[in-house]
C-alpha cells in the first residue's frame, strides 16, 4: 500500500521558501505530511502566502525571517522553528542570489555576497540543525545546486562557483553524517520559471529552451517533486548524490 503521508510527524525547514522552488518544496513536503517552517529574507507578503498554502494542505506552517549568511540570524531562526514546530528533521537549503553579468562587471562585493548567501548560508544552516539530527539519529538534507556547477557559465561566474561548492558540500557532509542516519543529497535544476530569470533576455531563454531535449522551461514543482523523493524512504539507499533536473539539457554520465 502506498503511504500517502510518508513525512507525517516530521518538521521541515525550507530556506528561501517564500517563492519559486522554495515555495514549491514547502508545498510538496506538506502534501507528504510534514509541518513546514518557511524562511524568507525580505518578501513578507510572499511568505504569508506560502504559509497559507501549506495550511490549506492541513499542515502547520511558520514563517521566519533570516539572512542565512548571518550566523546569529541563523541560530535565532533555528531556535524559533524548534520552539514553534519542534525539532527539525528535514532541511532544504534553497536560499540563493544570482547575478547575470559579464566578467567585467563582476565585482568583489557581488562575488562575496553570492558565496556568503549560497554556499556559506547552506553551511551555517546545516551546522545549526545537524547537532539535533545527530542526537536523534535522523536527518534528511537537500541542497539546491544548479547545472551552472556542471558547465562553464561566463555570465554567472560567482553563482556557478557557489553552486559547485554546494555540490562538494553535499558529497562531503553525506560521507561525514552517513553513520548517524543523516542523508544529504542535492538537486541541480536547469532553467526554471522563477524570478531568477528576470534578468535573462527573452532571446537567451529561447536559446536555452531550444537546447533542451524536452523543449520547455522547467517549473518549480518539477524540482520540488525530486526534493520530496530525496526526503522520503523512497530514496533510502541514496546519499551524497546531486540529481540533475533540467529537461535533458545536461546529461551526466
Q: Which of 159, 162, 232, 245 is catalytic?
A: 159
Report DSSP state, residue 105. G
- Residues 96, 148 contacting (CB under 8 angstroms): no
Instruction: Give the span between the Cα atoms of 56 and 35, in whole angstroms.
Output: 12
- Check: CB of residue 186 under 8 Å from CB of residue 245: no
Residue 100: active-site member = no
In a 10 Å sphere around its CB, with 0-12 CB exposed, 13-18 middle and 19+ buried, how is residue 184 labelled?
buried
Rounded distance between C-alpha atoms, residue 191 and residue 247, angstroms: 9
CB burial readout 4-39, b (16+ within 10 A) else e: eebbeebbbbbbbbbbbbbbbbbbbbbbbbbbbbbb
Positions annotated as catalytic residues are 159
Amino acid at each position: 500500500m502506498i503511504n500517502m503521508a510518508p513525512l507525517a510527524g516530521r518538521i521541515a525547514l525550507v530556506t528561501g521558501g517564500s517563492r519559486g522552488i522554495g515555495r514549491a518544496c514547502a508545498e510538496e513536503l506538506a502534501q507528504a505530511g510534514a509541518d513546514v517552517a518557511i524562511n524568507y529574507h525580505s518578501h513578507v507578503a510572499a511568505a504569508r502566502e506560502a504559509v497559507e498554502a501549506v495550511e490549506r494542505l492541513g499542515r502547520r506552517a511558520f514563517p521566519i525571517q533570516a539572512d542565512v549568511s548571518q550566523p546569529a540570524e541563523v541560530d535565532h531562526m533555528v531556535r524559533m522553528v524548534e520552539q514553534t514546530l519542534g525539532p527539525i528533521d528535514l532541511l532544504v537549503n534553497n536560499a540563493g542570489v544570482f547575478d547575470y553579468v559579464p566578467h567585467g562587471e563582476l565585482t568583489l562585493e557581488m562575488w562575496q555576497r553570492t558565496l556568503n548567501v549560497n554556499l556559506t548560508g547552506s553551511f551555517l544552516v546545516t551546522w545549526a540543525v545537524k547537532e539535533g539530527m545527530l542526537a536523534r539519529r535522523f536527518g534528511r538534507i537537500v541542497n539546491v545546486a544548479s547545472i551552472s556547477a556542471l558547465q562553464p557559465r561566463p555570465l554567472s561566474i560567482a553563482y556557478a562557483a557557489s553552486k559547485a561548492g554546494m555540490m562538494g558540500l553535499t558529497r562531503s557532509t553525506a560521507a561525514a553524517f552517513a553513520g548517524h542516519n543523516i542523508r544529504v543529497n542535492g538537486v541541480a535544476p536547469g532553467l526554471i520559471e522563477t524570478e531568477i530569470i528576470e534578468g535573462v533576455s527573452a532571446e537567451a531563454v529561447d536559446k536555452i529552451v531550444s537546447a533542451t531535449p524536452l523543449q520547455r522551461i522547467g517549473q518549480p514543482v518539477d524540482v520540488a517533486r525530486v526534493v520530496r523523493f530525496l526526503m522520503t524512504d523512497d530514496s533510502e539507499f541514496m546519499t551524497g548524490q546531486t540529481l540533475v533536473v533540467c529537461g535533458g539539457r545536461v546529461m551526466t554520465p
